[in-house]
């Protein structure tokens, strides 16, 4: 099964047993080609609009790293979102089992079970979870699971004007995301944590992927996207 970037598809005919078997074998993943990212924040805006993310917090955002001084200054972008890891520490450490992983690899949060204890936030090495200030529960990027179930791509992928985000089935060798992974050198954030992230980067700046940002809270800056100057 293949999901292409920017393409919309309907629900289609009723599912057969063969379709259900294929669905069980799906493992979703994303490749972000940072060479194409222009830092427009369209992915962040699309995420907020699609998932009703409160203004005070972010489920998807673009990290900005500035290096050097004029006229030799450089700016690097790194889109950030939940990695929906294969070995999701957050799900393992949730005391109420509110965090769990679907068969297709998407890590979810059951709003009815979450008690807002923040164990998962403390466990996540990627700082991509937040407390919804209105519901007082933990939320994150779910890769727009409702869109996946309808045969669509996540809102951020569909909105990206430069097609920097590529999404699809990692288990399908014919899918676009698998072809891109097979033909490009990729990076993941904090590989040493052994969480097996399912978000891969092409051409990401090492400084942007480093731990240098840890002292900045990206989820509580309401009026701007924070930048780091090296």
What does the pLDDT look like over 135-155, one tens digit per residue?
A: 999 999 999 999 999 999 999
Q: How many helices (H) and strands (E) does the chain have?
A: 7, 10
Question: d(Cα 12, Cα 177) in Å, to the nearest integer?
Answer: 22
3-class SS at 22?
A: helix
pLDDT score recorded for residue 153: 97
pTM for this entry: 0.82
Measured between its terminal Cα atoms, the distance across the chain in Å is 43
31-50: average pLDDT: 96
Contact, 1 vs 20, CB < 8 A?
Answer: no
Under 8 Å between Cβ of 59 and 47: yes
Q: Which domains are assigned to the chain?
A: 17-80+147-229 (3.30.70.20)
């Amino acid at each position: 099964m293949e999901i292409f970037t920017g393409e919309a598809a309907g629900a289609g005919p009723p599912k057969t047993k063969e379709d259900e078997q294929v669905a069980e074998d799906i493992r979703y993943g994303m490749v972000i080609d940072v060479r194409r990212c222009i830092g427009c924040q369209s992915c962040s805006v699309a995420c907020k609009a699609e998932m009703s993310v409160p203004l005070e917090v972010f489920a998807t955002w673009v990290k900005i790293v500035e290096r050097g001084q004029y006229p030799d200054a450089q700016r690097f972008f790194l889109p950030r979102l939940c990695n929906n890891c294969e070995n999701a520490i957050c799900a393992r450490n949730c005391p109420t089992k509110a965090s769990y992983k679907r068969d297709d690899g998407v890590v979810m949060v059951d709003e009815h079970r979450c008690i807002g204890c923040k164990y998962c936030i403390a466990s996540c090495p990627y700082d991509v979870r937040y407390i919804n200030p209105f519901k007082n529960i933990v939320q994150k990027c779910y890769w727009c699971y409702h869109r996946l179930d309808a045969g669509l791509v996540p809102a951020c992928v569909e909105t990206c004007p430069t097609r920097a985000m590529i999404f699809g089935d990692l288990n399908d060798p014919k899918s676009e995301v698998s072809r891109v992974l097979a033909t490009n050198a990729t990076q993941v954030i904090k590989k040493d944590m052994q969480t097996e992230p399912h978000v891969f980067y092409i051409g990401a700046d090492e400084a942007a992927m480093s731990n240098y940002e840890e002292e900045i809270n990206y989820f509580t800056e309401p009026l701007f996207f924070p930048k780091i100057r090296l």
